[in-house]
Amino acid sequence: MEIVIRKQKVRAVQFTDEQQKYIDEHYQLLPLDADGVPIHVGDAITLPNGSRDKVRFITIREHDTVFNERGWVPSQCTHVKPRTLEDVLIDAMQFGFSSHAGDNVMDKAREFADEIRELLGGDA
């Protein structure tokens, strides 16, 4: 069988039954989150209950892929969107103009500054 890719002919590989069985037994595609994004160990995710967690392991349990101690199903979760510098600045401005800013303004300023340093790679 030949397949044309970018105007080049390539031969499609056909696996023997034995090769296909080996592949099926030893390789698995990564599970996908609710948005169709592959989930890796170490990813930060938002769980169905709205809380956030880090993927510690991925395993198959009774024909379903789950991860972490509570057995979350990947298709019910989404990846945490990383905070941007703009997010931190907006939060800082909203906090500064809020009525509960009070005496802890310096502590919050330090928190925001630490987060900005982390976003900048710790060099600021």
Domain ranges of the chain: 2-79, 85-119
**What is the predicted pLDDT for the residue at 4?**
47
Q: Which residues of the chain have pLDDT under 70?
A: 1-12, 60-69, 96-103, 122-124
**What is the predicted pLDDT for the residue at 97?**
66
Q: pTM of the full predicted structure?
A: 0.50
Contacts of 67 (CB under 8 A, 6+ apart): 31, 39, 41, 55, 56, 57, 58, 59, 74
**What is the predicted pLDDT for the residue at 55?**
86
Q: What values do phi and psi take at 12, rounded to 5? A: -75, 140
**What is the predicted pLDDT for the residue at 2?**
46
pLDDT tens per residue across span 13-33: 778 889 888 887 777 778 888
**What is the predicted pLDDT for the residue at 6?**
55
